[in-house]
Amino acid sequence: MVEERAFWLAWSQMNGVGPVLLRRLQKHFGSLTTAWEADATALIEVEGVGFQTAETIVAERKELDPVALLNQHERENPNFWTPADANYPRLLLEAPDPPALLYYRGKVELLENQGTTPMVAIVGTRDPSDYGRRWTRRLTTTLAQSGFTVVSGLAEGIDTEVHRSCISLHGRTLAVLGTGVDVVYPWSNRDLHQEVMQHGLLLSEYPAGTQPDRTHFPRRNRIIAGLSRATIVMEAPLRSGALITAHVANDYGRDVYVLPGSLDNPKATGCLHLLNKGAQVILSEAHMLEMLGTLPPLVPPTTAHQTAIPLDLAPDLEKVLQILTNFPQDGGIDALPFDLIVQQSALQAGSVSSALLQLELMGLVSQQPGMRYQRQ
């Protein structure tokens, strides 16, 4: 049987098929393996696929062998995850546009991937004030000492302060790059790049050897937001990549915190803008921890026994959970495909996807490779 991850790779090579469309294809057909066999008529039924895109897909996939492509890619880039892999970061899977391929280099901590160890992003300007640097060190130190993993982008300025502070305390830090994980950028952070790889983890959706490009960094920012349960903006002008990260985090339903700055400081205008739009202000280290403490804990999946069905579930959640509970787990079949759950529930695919995600976060359902689900 061809691995589902081979089809994530193959689909990602298609012209006109980005992360959002990949997710829609997966949800519509239940798996990208099934989507690979769909003809143009079936493909057009997917939101965002027009006739021209469907014809392009049909033509291009004739030239692709998913198995051969995967074998070659694994030789050139041995360390990467796809959404079909059990170790793909759990919170990133919640995003509507998770990267089809997430390359990594360094030390993997599976508790981070599972969402058990909370991750918080800290971002900001490449040219911070002394105030911004000082408070970045203070907040990063507090997070690292409190057991959080801190995520940033290995850029100059605020990002650099974040990673250095974590490493100096022997804390965990993740750097999401706009290049391949083997490419150092900026060159001034060449030593820090090595230190993060040795003590933390480098991540990128770009394969080895990919050089920096201005279009890569906004895409990189969505991964920073997607990995993290909250994003903290330390100091940023109105035109700043940090604001992109904050807006994406808000769109993903994650909390956004902001260090307040002076009205006289042009490097703080972006932070003041976010506060005006409803972001939460950070008043001290203790206040930050207090706010982070209100985030509901992610319940790790349990396989010891099936938990009783809660009495207060929403109707859609109850219906989906009942289908999985009643599903016989013998005969060598232990998980239901997504499309079969949609069929049995008579709900829209989007409603089923949302219900499954919520049930998974409650520890009642677990996702298996190939968009298959089973009751816990």
Tens-place pLDDT, residues 320-337: 888 887 765 443 446 788
Spatial CB neighbours of 199, under 8 Å, sequence gap ≥ 6: 106, 107, 167, 170, 172, 173
pLDDT of residue 296: 57
259-302 tens-digit pLDDT:
999 999 999 999 999 999 999 999 999 999 999 986 655 544 43
pLDDT of residue 303: 38
Q: Which fold has domain 102-292?
A: Rossmann fold (3.40.50)
Residue with more model confidence, 359 or 64 = 64
Under a CB-based contact definition with an 8 Å cutoff, are residues 197 and 203 in contact? no
Q: How far is CA 226 from CA 89, 97, 106, 151, 248, in A?
A: 9, 9, 20, 10, 8
Phi, psi of 164 (to 5 degrees): -65, -40
pLDDT of residue 132: 97
Phi, psi of 268 (to 5 degrees): -110, 0
**Rg over CA atoms, the chain:** 21
- Enumerate the β-bridge partners of residue 259: none
Q: How far is CA 195 from CA 6, 135, 138, 265, 306, in A?
A: 32, 22, 20, 32, 43
As a CATH number, domain 4-76 is: 1.10.150.20
DSSP letter for 376, please.
-
Residue with more model confidence, 263 or 338 = 263
Mean of pLDDT over the chain? 89
pLDDT of residue 1: 43
pLDDT of residue 360: 81
> Could you give the CA distance from residue 365 to residue 353 in angstroms, rounded to a whole number?
12
Closest CA to 164 of 185, 141, 148, 187: 141
- Enumerate the β-bridge partners of residue 367: 373
Confidence grade of residue 2 (pLDDT, cut at 50, 70, 90): low
As a CATH number, domain 315-375 is: 1.10.10.10
pLDDT of residue 234: 98
Instruction: Examine the pLDDT at 39 and tell me if it is beyond 90.
Output: yes
pLDDT of residue 316: 85
345-372 tens-digit pLDDT:
888 887 888 888 888 877 788 887 667 7
In the chain, where the domains are located: 4-76, 102-292, 315-375
The whole-model pTM stands at 0.78
Decide the pairing of beta strands 230-233 and 119-123.
Answer: parallel
Instruction: Examine the pLDDT at 308 and tell me if it is beyond 60.
Output: no
pLDDT of residue 372: 78
217-269 tens-digit pLDDT:
999 999 999 999 999 999 999 999 999 999 999 999 999 999 999 999 999 99
Share of the chain above pLDDT 70, in %: 92
- Per-residue pLDDT, averaged over 34-57, amounts to 94
Query: In 10 A of CB 109, how many CB atoms?
Result: 16
User: For residue 333, which amino acid is it?
Assistant: I
> Could you give the CA distance from residue 247 to residue 37 in angstroms, rounded to a whole number?
37
